[in-house]
Amino acid sequence: MADNVELVRQLLSEKSDEKTKVSGERFFKETVRLYGVRAVDVRKIASSTFKQIARLSKHEIFDFCEQLWQSQIMEEAMIACHWSYALRKQYAPEDFATFEGWVNRYVSNWATCDTLCNHTIGTFLERFPEFVETMKTWCLSENRWVRRASAVSFILPAKKGLFKENLFDIADRLLLDGDDLVQKGYGWMLKELAEAYEEEVYQFILERRAVMPRTALRYAIEKMPAEKKREAMKRV
């Protein structure tokens, strides 16, 4: 088991670059640990190494993912996300506890939050919509990344127009959250939902624009027509 994880670490080390590392560290407000590997190379390493473990059981691969997450190094977390998403055809209801645990224990910046949630958790929720109600409890977490996750896990479903009323409910639960990254998260969710339900999202925003944080509002209306943007931004 350790050999597969060590191979990942060896390949990342070989591709590490100090300039990329310094640039990446400046990109985040939070302290992040990096090898300094370009995103395109991380994806290549993730794909090539997954081929070597693809025949193993889902639980064995999830164990590898756990080890990668535990390092708290960005590139290793991204590879764990790639591997967990590659197993999407094998997802089962009991996997929710695994994904929830990763969000709670290891996610520590918007990049790992969004990568895990957009793909792995978002796909899981489409297959097992009975967990949508559970996601709403994440809105109350003291952990900012769990609260952001409660919204950004629905980015892909929102694009498809899924779970509309539930997404409005989540946006309401997060509406007055003081964390700008949570505001951006649910604003982004509403923006994607507007692709399918522009008028309903627009009316949702108008009814709340007096209290909705400007950050969330701007994200939510980003793709709307200019006249709707102007109206939504008016102070009331």
Q: What is the pLDDT along the chain (236 residues), one digit of tens a residue?
A: 558 999 999 999 999 999 999 998 888 888 899 999 999 999 999 999 999 999 999 999 999 999 999 999 999 999 999 999 999 999 999 999 999 999 999 999 999 999 999 999 999 999 999 999 999 999 999 999 999 999 999 999 999 999 999 999 999 999 999 999 999 999 999 999 999 999 999 999 999 999 999 999 999 999 999 999 999 998 76
Residue 213 forms part of a structural domain: yes
Among 25, 59, 90, residue at a domain's last position: 90
Write the DSSP symbol of residue 29.
S
pTM for the model: 0.94
Residue with tokens 């991204």: 78
Claim to verify: residue 178 and residue 222 sit in the same structural domain: yes
Instruction: State the total domains in the chain.
Output: 2
Claim to verify: residue 67 and residue 116 sit in the same structural domain: no
Surface-to-core class of residue 140, CB atoms within 10 Å of its CB (0-12 exposed, 13-18 middle, 19+ buried) = exposed
Claim to verify: residue 203 and residue 235 sit in the same structural domain: yes
Nearest to 35 by CA among 51, 46, 19: 19
Q: Residue 192 is part of a domain; what is its CATH number?
A: 1.25.10.90
Q: In Å, what is the CA distance from 43 to each residue of 9, 22, 32, 69?
A: 14, 20, 19, 16
Query: How far apart (Å, rounded) are the C-alpha atoms in residues 42 and 112?
Result: 13
- Give the structural domain span for 148: 104-236
Residue with tokens 């520590």: 108
Dihedral of CA atoms 15, 17, 20, 22 in degrees, nearest 10, equals 140
For residue 171, the model assigns a pLDDT of 98
Claim to verify: residue 5 and residue 75 sit in the same structural domain: yes
Query: How far apart (Å, rounded) are the C-alpha atoms in residues 184 and 167?
Result: 14
Residue 32 forms part of a structural domain: yes
Claim to verify: residue 144 and residue 229 sit in the same structural domain: yes
Among 66, 90, 114, residue at a domain's last position: 90
Claim to verify: residue 117 and residue 189 sit in the same structural domain: yes
Residue 99 forms part of a structural domain: no
Residue 33 forms part of a structural domain: yes
Claim to verify: residue 111 and residue 227 sit in the same structural domain: yes
For residue 2, the model assigns a pLDDT of 57
Claim to verify: residue 119 and residue 190 sit in the same structural domain: yes
Rg, the chain, Cα only: 19
Query: How far apart (Å, rounded) are the C-alpha atoms in residues 126 and 82?
Result: 18
Claim to verify: residue 16 and residue 58 sit in the same structural domain: yes
Claim to verify: residue 77 and residue 112 sit in the same structural domain: no
Residue 81 forms part of a structural domain: yes
For residue 28, the model assigns a pLDDT of 87
